[in-house]
Every structure is written in C-alpha cells, then in structure tokens.
Structure 1
Amino acid sequence: MIEFSISTSFIRADVSGLRQLMSLGDFRKLEIGFYDEETLPLVMDFATQEGLRYGFHDPLPRLPHDTYPFLTDPDDEKRWRTLDSMYRTLQTAVHYGAEYVIGHIPSVIWEPQVSLTEERIIELAHNSCDQLTLWSEEAGIPFALENVGPNPYFFQVDAFVEVMEAHPGLEFCLDIGHLHLMSVYAGFDSLDFVTKLATYTSIIHVYNATPEMYRKYHHVPAHPSQRPENGWADIPAILECVLAYQKASMTVVFEYSPQYPADAAFTKEGIEWVKGVVTEE
C-alpha cells in the first residue's frame, strides 16, 4: 500500500501552520522532526486531536547542542553524539507510538581528508548500523537510513547496498533531492542508484533541487514545471523506477522548506502532480 504524508519541515517551528499544512493535500499522516522539548508536545497534541498517524525524523526532541548528524564520522565523540540523538528519537517514538524513525547516512564531508579512506568510513557505517539495528529491534519501531551528502568516501550505490544487505533489520529512505545533488556532484546515474536500492526502500522524500537552488532555498516544492533539461531532478522517472520494484508498503513524504517563495496553489499543483505519477504506477 502506498501512503502520502507531509513533513513538518515546511512550517519549521510555526505550529500555528499545522492545520494549513495538512490541507495542502488532505493529508492524514505527518513526518515530524527537529522540534525542541517545549514545542514537540504541542505538535503531538495536534496530531492526537486530529487522529493523525506519523513517523519521526531524528533529532526529536532537538536539544540545544544538537548539530548535523555524524553517523560515519571518525571522531568518536561526534559519532556517539549522533547515535545518542537517534536513540533518543527512538525512545520518543516509543512514547508517542510513531510508525518509524529516520536518520541520515553518511556524515557530510565536503573535501577529501588525508587521514580518511573509503574502507574506514564504511566500517564506521557498519558499526553504527549494528547499534541502530539493536535499538530498533528493542524499540519495536523500524529505523530507516536516509541518503545524504556529499561525502567523497560514501556515495556510490554499492556502499549503500552493502550496508543495507548487512543490516536487514533496517530500512531505506530515498531522498530525491539529496540523490540528485549527489548525482551532479559525483557524476553517477540516479536511476541506477534507485533501482539497486528499491527493494530496501520504504519511504521516499519528495522535493526538488539544483545545486544553485539548494544553496538558496534548500528544499524546493516539487512541481511539473521543473524540467530535467534545466538541471532539476527527473522526479517522475525516479518515482516510476523505485515503484516498479517496490510497491508492497511505501510512504511518500512531501518535504519542503519554507524559504522558497511558493504560494499554496503552486505547492498543491506539485502535490497533485506527484500523486498522479505515483497512482499511475
């Protein structure tokens, strides 16, 4: 079964926008992340009152010292700080009855470093995923690894497949925007990546990006006007590819950022467009 959800990233800390967020596509499911300890209960009260289902995105709750995730970082302190955050999010998911938890892999590294190797980074990925598998099993809540980048030591599809094959208790969240940016950065075929990871994929994050637009607006709402020949991700091709291999259970999450100057009509057009692509498959 394919379900549609929307991320609270679109409104960030503005909980007053929750009802409007849900109305963009008559959503009954949320992906909730990044709220602090004071704001999270307000979001969860809304979800309970509206009878919504939800998944969580690490970190939740977000603590004042939380930084970007470092799941494969060679610095033990950074890596364990990230693992502690993911454990905290899993425990929060148990408390509120979330359906899944998502966390980023690998750590972002912009430039190669003399002291690092691909073998070392992948070893750290395995070690971290061993721990996440154990915690996920104990919590009884699926944990999904979401692709992010850049990382010059962990970006090829074979690295992701190796980690997923070694950890069958974990799931995969395909982030279309990050995938497209990495394909531009590293020069690989997005559709080959999607095909090889499709059987592990249970969640898809949908938004669009070009390198320039990502730096300016972060996550841009998907829209049919975004043509691949103009540098945008080919969202229909990516969705068609992953859904050809995986249809049993999938959550398609619309994940936007509030910085982009799009009105509700533009956003709704994009949501309906994506829904049409998915339901045709």
Structure 2
Amino acid sequence: MRNFMIGQYGAFDYEKYHRDYKEAFFGIEACLFNKDEDTLNLIKESKARGFEIGVHFPLHAGRSSLRDALFLSPENRVRDEALEFIQQELDYLVRVKPRYVLFHYPKPVILDDRVDWSSWRFADDKEYAYESNYSIDEFIEKSEYLFQWLSVKSDEYQFIPVLEFDALNKYVYQTDFLEELLHKYSKIKLCLDTGRLHLQDKIDPFFDSRQVVRKYVKYAEVIHLWNLQYTDKIEKYHYPVLPEQRPEKGWAPIEEYLNIIRKENRDVKIQFEHRSDFLTDDDLERCYMWVDEIINA
C-alpha cells in the first residue's frame, strides 16, 4: 500500500482522514479548499506523518468561475488568463511543496462530432469544443506550448506537472504526437482516471479504454481509481472498487485495468478518488486489500 493515496476535496476533513488514510500510504491529493485553515492542516499533518501531497488544480477555491484552466482555448485572451490562473496558484503552493500538481487535459476538451456526449459532465459550454472547429494542427501547436511552459514552471517551483485525461478524441488515441511530447518534455506525466475511461468506453463506439491504458500508463504518475456503473445511463458514480463489480453488469473492468497497470508501471500512485462513505469500514478495507493484492503482487 506504499503507493496508495486518498483524496481531500473541498476541505481537510479530519473524519475522512482518520478513517481513510493508513500509515503505510504514500500521500493525499487535495483540491478546492475553501479556507486557508484547511491548507495549514494539510501541511501540518504531512509534516507530522511524513506523507506526500498532490494537488488537483486548484487547491485554493474561489479564484475562478471554472475549476479547470482553459489553457488550450482558441482565444488568446482565455489562454493567457488560464496560465496566469496557474501562475497565481503555483505562488500559493510554495509553502505546500506538492510532489505534483494535476490539471485536466485537454481543456477545453476536443470532442468527436460523431459521439453523443450528453452523459459527460461539463460545468460550462466553454469547457469543450468539437473536432470540426478545432484542427489537429492547432491542438498540437497549443499542446506543445503548454508542455514547454509547464516544464519551465516545474523547474522553477519543483513539482511534477501531471495532465489528467478528460474526454479524449482521435487526436490523442489514434496519433503518436502526444507520446512524442511526453518523450520530449519528460517532466510532464499523466493521470488516468478509471471512471472516465469506462464512461467513454460506454458512450463512444470509436474508443477503446484498454488500448488507451496500454498506450499511456507508462507515462502516468498517478491513477485516479474509482468505479462507474453504466447501463443505458449512469447508475453509480465515484463508487469504490470491489471484486464483485462485474463488467457484464455495467461496471468498469477494474481488474483488467489494474493488471495492465501493474505490468506497465509498477511505480505509479493509486489515488482512491471514490466516495468512501458509500462503504462500511470493513468493505473499505476490503477495497484496499483487493487493489493491493493485484497492483503490488
């Protein structure tokens, strides 16, 4: 369990901390704290117990109407504002000293025009564009600028920039340009989110989540691990993973994902991005033990 992490979202919740965090765990990923007191508690506990901190951008809530920075926007003004938003957050994070700072990528998401995206959760229509209005050349150009910029900031602020896959289109899963960028700018790492991967598998006939995991997990710093049940709609969301959740019942093939991850990247961190309050204490422990038996075998 040395590579396990829990999440703290909205606040540093001591009840969740004492229930979910185990002494052997690697660390805590934090996001959208409403009060400075929560940041101070995170720092205090990290120093006291020796765990690492990851930040799901932004840590400091209330600075923007949208959570995610729209650093690939076609509009110059919006892109500049997004990078300034990140810069301000990095200045705030100096005292936190996070191991990594994670950003959703791509943002805005570039959507395949052929797919019905009504099940995908967007906070605002600014968060996405369609392939028909956003060319692959533009996507490559703006992505490379982002990679260059984050690599410089990585050296300046001493953190690992992590890009968490949001919805993906064929620019990412049918070409090699992103792998080329990941080789060229090796400080940049990825986050694969099991729930998002499974949801896209269910709604996008052109997408293969297992193929994406095999292709990209070698570049991952962290896995966001949770399960989603989808029949003709979303039934369960951010649910903890358990061995009895069968793919034929609409659940993600979590065991398959974990076996691929173990084979390709044994150093990756496993962040339980689930609603642990959905489970009893015994079932939460069973969740941890099952994942540990697979990923750390």
* Alignment map for 1:117-196 (pairs within 5 Å): 117-149=135-167, 151-152=168-169, 154-156=171-173, 158=175, 160-186=178-204, 187-196=206-215
Could you list the per-position Cα deviations for residues 33-68 of structure 1 after superposition, in whole angstroms to 9, with x for gaps in the alignment?
221343322333333344332221111212342414
Deviation for aligned residue 1:84? 3.0
Local SS of the residue matching 1:54: strand
Q: Which runs of 5+ in 2 are unaligned?
A: 112-116, 118-128
User: Which residue identity is paired with 2:54?
Assistant: G
Q: 2:124: which partner in 1?
A: none
Contact between 1:29 and 1:54, CA under 8 Å: does it hold in 2?
A: yes
Contact between 1:59 and 1:85, CA under 8 Å: does it hold in 2?
A: no
Find the aligned partners of 1:60 and 1:68 in 2 and give their Cα distance: 10
Q: 2:11: which partner in 1?
A: 13
Higher RCO, 1 or 2 (CA under 8 Å, sep at least 6)?
1
Q: Quick one: which of 223, 230, 239 aligns to 2:249?
A: 230
The answer to whether 1:252 aligns with 2:270 is yes
Deviation for aligned residue 1:222? 1.2
Deviation for aligned residue 1:76? 3.0
Contact between 2:229 and 2:237, CA under 8 Å: does it hold in 1?
A: no
TM-score where L is the length of structure 1: 0.83
The answer to whether 1:29 aligns with 2:34 is no
The answer to whether 1:54 aligns with 2:53 is yes
Deviation for aligned residue 1:274? 0.8
C-alpha RMSD over aligned residues: 2.9
Contact between 1:90 and 1:136, CA under 8 Å: does it hold in 2?
A: no
Q: Which runs of 5+ in 1 are unaligned?
A: none
Find the aligned partners of 2:226 and 2:232 in 1 and give their Cα distance: 12
Find the aligned partners of 1:14 and 1:216 in 2 and give their Cα distance: 28
Find the aligned partners of 1:180 and 1:42 in 2 and give their Cα distance: 34
* Alignment map for 1:258-269 (pairs within 5 Å): 261-269=278-286
Contact between 2:72 and 2:143, CA under 8 Å: does it hold in 1?
A: yes
The answer to whether 1:276 aligns with 2:293 is yes
- The alpha-carbon distance between structure 1 residues 103 and 201, as it changes in their structure 2 partners (threshold 3 A), is same
- The alpha-carbon distance between structure 1 residues 263 and 214, as it changes in their structure 2 partners (threshold 3 A), is farther
Identity, in percent, stands at: 23
Contact between 2:58 and 2:89, CA under 8 Å: does it hold in 1?
A: yes
User: Which residue identity is paired with 1:269?
Assistant: R
The answer to whether 1:71 aligns with 2:88 is no
User: Which residue identity is paired with 2:11?
Assistant: A
User: Which residue identity is paired with 2:79?
Assistant: R
Worse-matched range after superposition: 20-29 or 118-127: 20-29
Contact between 1:56 and 1:89, CA under 8 Å: does it hold in 2?
A: no
TM-score where L is the length of structure 2: 0.79
How many residue pairs get aligned? The number is 275
Q: 2:94: which partner in 1?
A: 94
Deviation for aligned residue 1:94? 3.3
Deviation for aligned residue 1:24? 6.3
User: Which residue identity is paired with 2:220?
Assistant: T
